[in-house]
Chain A
């Protein structure tokens, strides 16, 4: 466990924290940590408590389940009630509430809904049951989308006709651009998601950085990764330097993962996408290319287009949490009516959800 032991060394972490304290006194800093796993790691390692109060760490929309729109969830729930259909999805998706139901609830009511760890399992299911219509819910960012692409390719290669994908895949840089340019948020910089970056590379952010002009550091997920990245970020903000740096060098390359990107390009095309909280962001979604239209569940089942969902039902404020406008304790439902055992919004369901992280490590 070399990397874990080294990057969780408490002494080293306290040293870097002291260095950050040394350079972050003169002003206030608003840093957005985009990725849900970063939010959880920051809470788990008590990073905030090591930092000076002048640094405000704000959680962003880096939770793919959380930013999936109500329209998509409604479509998925309705589709699950079709007796011909087998819905296959990642486990987190099973418990997200929409219009008084969840996919888990639908399963209890007789729907055929399966939780999997890999998109390829959905192809296996389609192969084993040729009479069923197997629909894979493709939720995830660039980290996960290649898995879906692999599944589409596999199904095509094996001639499996009863397999389709309902894509809600989204890309992160476009969302960063929107958030970076929001004046009322007034962010100073971004901690970038490590595993999205493993796919898109440092290069993947260059274009939006030119537009957005805020310093960014790609960070790993251990305590030392995050602290070192924050140190670099604060230094850049102090120098008014719009940097794009990579702290997570053991996993992230300048060019990312060209094979994964090529696969994404082969199967998907950029489309406009609806993000919970952030609204419609142009070119931030991945939809199946026309030549795979048979595999596109949205076409196959004529699913209605997703609508913008500014706020959730029953007073849910996930939308505001996702764009960094409020922190979970500011939502009146947090840890009272909305808890992991009975969640009202997706941010409390997913392991990458901001509210769930705040709750688990309170």
Chain B
């Protein structure tokens, strides 16, 4: 079977074969192996976080990742932003008739590798095949469940909190744009798609007083700052000179007229940290492979205006409006 056909989605022998040969093989675990309509797991008492995300990224494979890796990392990072240790993952696949089976195998293998590395169990899934033209190649829905280690909320943000990020911005969105539009650009640009529970766990274990965290995906850093300002009621200010950006991303944004702060990231976390712990938090981030270029990029103000300001070399404090729309479509 070199291409996926409608029969592979219609609940019969062919679908069971697909599940056994591709999904069970790759995800291999006793819970999934039961192949029940629902995964039955025991959970310890406590507080749990549940997140769901659908992945429609185009193209399926891009420098730095693929839709499968993105699905796992996206879910892990949403859980991580709530200080939740990822435990279980579900994987629903909507496949366009005619997709190469090899492509599906590659995506699933990537998902499985990423899940294994994160000690995440894929406990249940779903398979649908739709007629040619009714979906674009492959869509994945993933739901994650994690054990909350610390309860955080935007309402925990305090004036003078420092805002940290673990590395340079806009790499994911721009690399997708390059890959999709096949733009001829000399510099090599890769998505920063990566799982962030490890680096978050490190901060929490070292008792850093983190008041709030969020991963800046669609809408970029700008969207998260506006969210934080709205929820907490406090204004925040960003120092443009301190925001880490690679030369390649800066070049591309200048040429295409795109705002770096509005562009998606898939391996970055914004941390709102107690000012007394900020220096130590920065050192801890920088000690981790996913935080070598971490920086303190701003802070929370005492005024209750819920505005976002940008300090540039030219304008001491300009109001930054929220991103209108994702400047690059279908990045996640």
A interface with B by C-beta (< 8 Å): 1, 4, 8, 10, 13, 44-46, 49, 117, 223, 340-341, 351, 359-362
Select the residue from B251, B257, B314 with max chain A CB neighbours within 10 A: B314
**B contact residues, range:** 10 to 19
Q: Answer whether residue B181 sits at the interface, using C-beta atoms and an 8 A cutoff.
A: yes
A227 to chain B, nearest CB (A): 11
A360 and B257 contact, CB distance less than 8 A: no
In the complex, chain B residues whose CB is within 8 Å of the CB of A341: 324
A1 and B314 contact, CB distance less than 8 A: no
B324 and A340 contact, CB distance less than 8 A: yes
B313 and A360 contact, CB distance less than 8 A: no
User: In whole angstroms, what is the CA distance A8 to B250 when docked?
Assistant: 14
B321 and A46 contact, CB distance less than 8 A: no
Select the residue from B181, B257, B319, B321 with max chain A CB neighbours within 10 A: B321
B65 to chain A, nearest CB (A): 24
User: In whole angstroms, what is the CA distance A10 to B316 when docked?
Assistant: 12
Please, what's the 1-or-0 string for B285-318, where 1 marks a CB less than 8 Å from any CB in chain A? Answer: 0000000000000000000000000000111001
In the complex, chain A residues whose CB is within 8 Å of the CB of B250: 1
> Lowest 5 A-B CB distances belong to which pairs?
A46-B315, A45-B314, A10-B313, A46-B314, A340-B324
B251 and A1 contact, CB distance less than 8 A: yes
Sample of 11 further A-B pairs with CB below 8 A, known A46-B314, A46-B315 = A1-B250, A4-B254, A10-B313, A10-B314, A13-B314, A45-B314, A49-B315, A360-B321, A361-B318, A361-B319, A362-B319
By secondary structure, the A interface counts as loop
A145 to chain B, nearest CB (A): 19
B181 and A117 contact, CB distance less than 8 A: yes
User: In whole angstroms, what is the CA distance A223 to B251 when docked?
Assistant: 17
Q: Answer whether residue B247 sits at the interface, using C-beta atoms and an 8 A cutoff.
A: yes
10 contacts between A and B (CB under 8 A): A1-B247, A1-B254, A10-B313, A13-B314, A44-B314, A46-B314, A340-B321, A340-B324, A360-B321, A361-B315
In the complex, chain B residues whose CB is within 8 Å of the CB of A13: 314
Given contacts A1-B251, A4-B254, contact A45 B315 (CB under 8 A): yes
B interface with A by C-beta (< 8 Å): 181, 247, 250-251, 254, 257, 313-315, 318-319, 321, 324
In the complex, chain A residues whose CB is within 8 Å of the CB of B315: 44-46, 49, 361
B174 to chain A, nearest CB (A): 14
User: In whole angstroms, what is the CA distance A117 to B250 when docked?
Assistant: 19
Select the residue from B250, B251, B315 with max chain A CB neighbours within 10 A: B315
User: In whole angstroms, what is the CA distance A353 to B254 when docked?
Assistant: 19
B311 to chain A, nearest CB (A): 12
Considering the complex, give the chain B residue whose CB is closest to the CB of A9: B313
User: In whole angstroms, what is the CA distance A340 to B247 when docked?
Assistant: 30
User: In whole angstroms, what is the CA distance A276 to B311 when docked?
Assistant: 36
In the complex, chain B residues whose CB is within 8 Å of the CB of A44: 314-315
A360 to chain B, nearest CB (A): 6
In the complex, chain B residues whose CB is within 8 Å of the CB of A45: 314-315
In the complex, chain A residues whose CB is within 8 Å of the CB of B181: 117
Considering the complex, give the chain B residue whose CB is closest to the CB of A49: B315
A42 to chain B, nearest CB (A): 11
User: In whole angstroms, what is the CA distance A361 to B257 when docked?
Assistant: 16
Considering the complex, give the chain B residue whose CB is closest to the CB of A352: B257
User: In whole angstroms, what is the CA distance A117 to B257 when docked?
Assistant: 12
